[in-house]
Amino acid sequence: MSTLPGVDLRALRDEEASPAQMFAILKQRRRTFFVVFGACMLAAALYCALATRRYQAIGQIQVQKETLGSFGLDESVLGGADAPTSDALDYNVTLQTEARILQSDSLALQVIRELHLETTQDFFPPKKDQWGLPSWLFFWKKPLEPLTVGLDQAPDRRYAALKRFASHLKVEPITGTRLIEVRYSSPDPKLAAAVVNHLIAALMEYSYQSRFAATSQASQWLSAQLDDLRGQTERLQAKALMLERDTGVYGEDESHNIVLARLEALNQAWAEAESNRILKESIYRAASSGDPELISGLGGNAAAGSIPSMANSLGLLQNLRSQEATVRAELDQDRVRYGQNYPRIAELQAEWNSIQKAIQEEVHRIGERARTDYEIARRAEVDAHTAFEKQKRLAGDLNNKAVAFALAKQEAEGSRQVYENLLAKLKEAGVLEGLRSTNITVVNPARVPSPAHPKSPNVLLCFAAALVMGLFSGSAAAFAEHAADHTIRSLESVEKMTGGPVLGLIPIPGCGPAMTKARASDQIMTIRYTDAPFAESLRMLRTTLMLSRSSNPPQVLLVTSPGAGEGKSTVSLELASVLAQQGARVLLAECDLRRPVLSGRTGVQSRSALSAALSNEGICPVPEPLPEMPNLDVLLGGPAPPFPAELLGSRRMQNLVQRWRNEYDFVVLDGPPLLPVADAAVLLRHCDAVLLLCRHGLTERRALKRGWDTLLRHAPAGMVMGAVLNAVPEGSSDFYEYYGYRSKGHGA
């Protein structure tokens, strides 16, 4: 089979969504888009026209830092807990607290009662004629309890009133300032300003009452505590005087304490005795070693040299060591020089032995003297330590008494200071109870807003929101409709489903009043209205078919579709007429034997039909010429036979087609639907070309895909195959893109 060059019939792939494709979908579904968009804009217009006008009043208050009162008195009464040195975080907490108090139920109920808000339009207005509608339709405006019952005894009505009041109130601290902005909206501009001003006044009254209550409670508590505190102070002072007499301290400080002075002296004596014992012990241990070399080295020690007897002994020992060294050197020299038998050697040896003996005796004497000194130093240290511990016990007893005295004195002074401070606070509280002050000031009181500038409805904001919502909702609706629509609506869909060429695109045959009239009279429109886009598209299809094969154009053409009602009979008739308009002899054979329709559309009454000729070989079909075009003959299908598929695939049908090839230049077969029955599949072997017709907005993608696959399976080799998109709407962009005609949607 032949198709357009370079086209893979089985290359079916899903294309990624691109902005151009999305725009094409919106353009294709523009009716849905504009309906949804218009509905959003209409809803915004109705809301702006019917919504109640609301006016917003704005007031501003300043929350000042806590400072001393007007008379220099600390208004916190109990001290510096609210001192002005609080940081930014504490102050931000204060602002948030004041804002929450403004939004509290207590202040809201107070304002509702003072201004009688329950009878206003926002709450429970008096009953009026609601355009003749029954009252139960406005159930939300009916109070749950009678208005004669107070809000404190009507929980349901109170809940509803507080909710409605809070919905119209907005309290917001202004960032970076000490200001709080209060806003309230109401249909009555005067009422809106009154609510804001009353709410601010209620906050200031609440602030004063809370301070007054706290001051009164503190004053009562201070009065009850002062008597007990005064008696406690007196008892503590008496105890301090008694302990002062028991301490034995002469004077105001520690320098007049004899016990501690003696303790310090004994401590110093003990430290000196310990140091001396350590020194004597080190000398004793060195002398006990018996090493002359080590003992003589003590002579260079400043501590050992400070002892006179030890210094003399160490000096004598060092002299003996020096003599020993001299005699030893001379003895060694003579032995080397004169030998062992030299007489002087014996004298030197005797002298050296004598010096050795003297050294040993002196070492022994030094050791005994060091031991004696060490024992004396040790006993002195023990005696000093014993005296220190005894004095320490005496000082400990005295210190306990001094500590008790100091604590008692400090406690008495502290109690007296607390008493004096509380007494001063009690006097301040008496003044503050009558001082009316608050840290809240009104910066901008709420003023009546202009009736010409309501807060809501905001027309610009409403239409802007409607515009955004309309664009979004319209696009979503268009995409949803496109996703739910499985029919063929574009050339891209045909190419995607078939993978083959689109041989033509035919618009709806109704462009203009003349074409509409022609359709009503069932005339061949390509004959009378040659300049209409419908006729031009069929002539373009004719040209495409003539050029589809390089050697010779296809002679026998089959027009079919996946299902019924897709316009194949109309296209077959109009295509046969445009083929006949160029002077060729054309036969239009109605091969849809199950549902023949050409008789009613052409007005031809055939003497012999195709079904009769196929059923009986003795009958020869006689085509009838059309009055408007003598070289176009029409062969009707006739009565429906029992087995149409077998007749169309018979030898008789093959012979008829062969005879038609000899008698006519072109044969157009108006075939049956491809998918419901097998009639069109058996006709393929008699044809040179097949047109698979799909109707815009009617043929489903799956049906087109299955129909094309059926053609691929049954069509013989060398057959020209192609799809034709039929009944394209007048405003479709595909028509302009394919043929270059501008529809009404694209301008002149």
Instruction: Indicate the pLDDT class of residue 150, thresholds 50, 70 and 90.
Output: confident
- Check whether 121 has a pLDDT greater than 70: yes
Cα–Cα dist 509/687, whole Å: 27
Instruction: Indicate the pLDDT class of residue 301, thresholds 50, 70 and 90.
Output: low
Other beta carbons within 10 angstroms of residue 252's beta carbon come to: 7
Amino acid at 409: K
Cα–Cα dist 49/36, whole Å: 20
Q: Are 235 and 96 in contact (CB under 8 A)?
A: no
DSSP label at 489?
Answer: -
Cα–Cα dist 672/361, whole Å: 152
Instruction: Indicate the pLDDT class of residue 706, thresholds 50, 70 and 90.
Output: very high
Q: Which of 3-7, 280-284, 586-590 has the lowest mean pLDDT?
A: 3-7
With CA atoms as reference, report the closest residue to 220 among 42, 430, 421.
Answer: 430
- Check whether 649 has a pLDDT greater than 90: no
Q: For residue 440, what are the contacts with CB-CB under 8 A and spacing of at least 6?
A: 61, 62, 63, 64, 98, 203, 204, 207
Over the stretch 493-521, which tens digit does the pLDDT of each residue have? 888 888 878 888 888 876 444 444 444 34
- Check whether 40 has a pLDDT greater than 60: yes
Q: Which of 192-201, 278-287, 603-612 has the lowest mean pLDDT?
A: 278-287
The average pLDDT across 688-715 equals 89
Q: Which of 391-395, 626-630, 672-676 has the lowest mean pLDDT?
A: 391-395
Over the stretch 312-321, which tens digit does the pLDDT of each residue have? 766 676 777 7
Cα–Cα dist 417/230, whole Å: 11
**Given CA atoms 256, 258, 259, 263 in this order, what sign does their dihedral have?**
positive
Instruction: Indicate the pLDDT class of residue 83, thresholds 50, 70 and 90.
Output: very low
- Check whether 536 has a pLDDT greater than 50: yes
- Give ∠ CA 90-94-98 in degrees, rounded to 5: 170
Cα–Cα dist 625/604, whole Å: 8
The average pLDDT across 674-685 equals 88
Over the stretch 719-728, which tens digit does the pLDDT of each residue have? 889 999 888 8
Other beta carbons within 10 angstroms of residue 367's beta carbon come to: 19
Question: DSSP for 543-601?
Answer: HHHHTSSSSS--SEEEEE-SSSSSSHHHHHHHHHHHHHTTT--EEEEE---SS--HHHH
Q: Which residues pair with 726 in a beta bridge?
A: 695
Other beta carbons within 10 angstroms of residue 208's beta carbon come to: 15
pLDDT of residue 356: 76
Q: For residue 486, what are the contacts with CB-CB under 8 A and spacing of at least 6?
A: 700, 701, 702
Contacts by 650-653 with C-beta closer than 8 Å and gap 24+?
650/614, 652/613, 652/614, 652/617, 653/614, 653/686
3-state secondary structure 702-720: HHHHHHHHHHHHHCCCCCE
Cα–Cα dist 703/561, whole Å: 9
- Check whether 739 has a pLDDT greater than 70: no
Structure tokens at 619: 């009958």
pLDDT of residue 257: 64
Percent of the chain with pLDDT over 70: 75
More confident residue, 291 or 461: 461
- Check whether 42 has a pLDDT greater than 70: yes
Over the stretch 443-473, which tens digit does the pLDDT of each residue have? 999 899 988 888 888 888 899 999 999 999 9
Extract the runs of DSSP E, i.e. beta strands, from 24-158: 55-63
Percent of the chain with pLDDT over 90: 18
Cα–Cα dist 554/575, whole Å: 14
Cα–Cα dist 709/634, whole Å: 30
Other beta carbons within 10 angstroms of residue 696's beta carbon come to: 25
Structure tokens at 302: 């400043």
Considering 40-54, 332-346, 419-433, 477-491, the range whose residues carry the highest mean pLDDT is: 40-54
Q: Are 260 and 401 in contact (CB under 8 A)?
A: no
Cα–Cα dist 52/728, whole Å: 49
The strand pair at 169-173 and 179-186 is best described as: antiparallel
Q: Are 482 and 29 in contact (CB under 8 A)?
A: yes
pLDDT of residue 66: 63
pLDDT of residue 714: 87
Instruction: Indicate the pLDDT class of residue 127, thresholds 50, 70 and 90.
Output: low
Question: DSSP for 152-219?
Answer: GG-HHHHHHHHHHHHHHEEEEEPTTSSEEEEEEEESSHHHHHHHHHHHHHHHHHHHHHHHHHHHHHHH
Q: Which residue has the tokens 């002050």?
A: 437
DSSP label at 616?
Answer: -
Q: 593: burial class by Cβ within 10 Å (0-12, 13-18, 19+)?
A: buried
- Check whether 265 has a pLDDT greater than 70: yes
Cα–Cα dist 505/498, whole Å: 15
Q: Which residues pair with 690 in a beta bridge?
A: 558, 721
Q: For residue 186, what are the contacts with CB-CB under 8 A and spacing of at least 6?
A: 54, 55, 57, 120, 121, 122, 168, 192, 195
More confident residue, 309 or 745: 309
pLDDT of residue 84: 45
Q: For residue 686, what are the contacts with CB-CB under 8 A and spacing of at least 6?
A: 556, 558, 653, 654, 657, 669
Instruction: Indicate the pLDDT class of residue 430, thresholds 50, 70 and 90.
Output: low
The average pLDDT across 687-706 equals 90
Instruction: Indicate the pLDDT class of residue 523, thresholds 50, 70 and 90.
Output: low
Q: Which of 57-66, 353-362, 438-447, 618-627 has the lowest mean pLDDT?
A: 353-362
With CA atoms as reference, report the closest residue to 196 among 52, 100, 105, 61.
Answer: 61
With CA atoms as reference, report the closest residue to 226 among 431, 423, 417.
Answer: 423
Over the stretch 167-224, which tens digit does the pLDDT of each residue have? 999 999 998 888 999 999 999 999 999 999 999 999 988 888 887 777 777 677 777 7
- Check whether 432 has a pLDDT greater than 60: no
Q: Are 571 and 539 in contact (CB under 8 A)?
A: no
Cα–Cα dist 13/9, whole Å: 11
With CA atoms as reference, report the closest residue to 349 among 371, 330, 365.
Answer: 330
- Check whether 686 has a pLDDT greater than 80: yes
- Check whether 605 has a pLDDT greater than 80: no
Q: Are 519 and 38 in contact (CB under 8 A)?
A: no
Extract the runs of DSSP E, i.e. beta strands, from 231-380: none
Over the stretch 348-407, which tens digit does the pLDDT of each residue have? 777 778 877 777 777 777 777 777 877 887 888 888 888 888 877 777 776 666 666 666
The average pLDDT across 138-157 equals 72
pLDDT of residue 8: 39
- Check whether 234 has a pLDDT greater than 80: no
The average pLDDT across 266-288 equals 77
pTM above 0.85, yes or no: no
User: CA gyration radius for the chain?
Assistant: 63
Cα–Cα dist 295/33, whole Å: 119
Q: Provide the Cα torsion 699, 701, 705, 707; round to 10°.
A: -20
Q: Are 593 and 641 in contact (CB under 8 A)?
A: yes
pLDDT of residue 154: 85
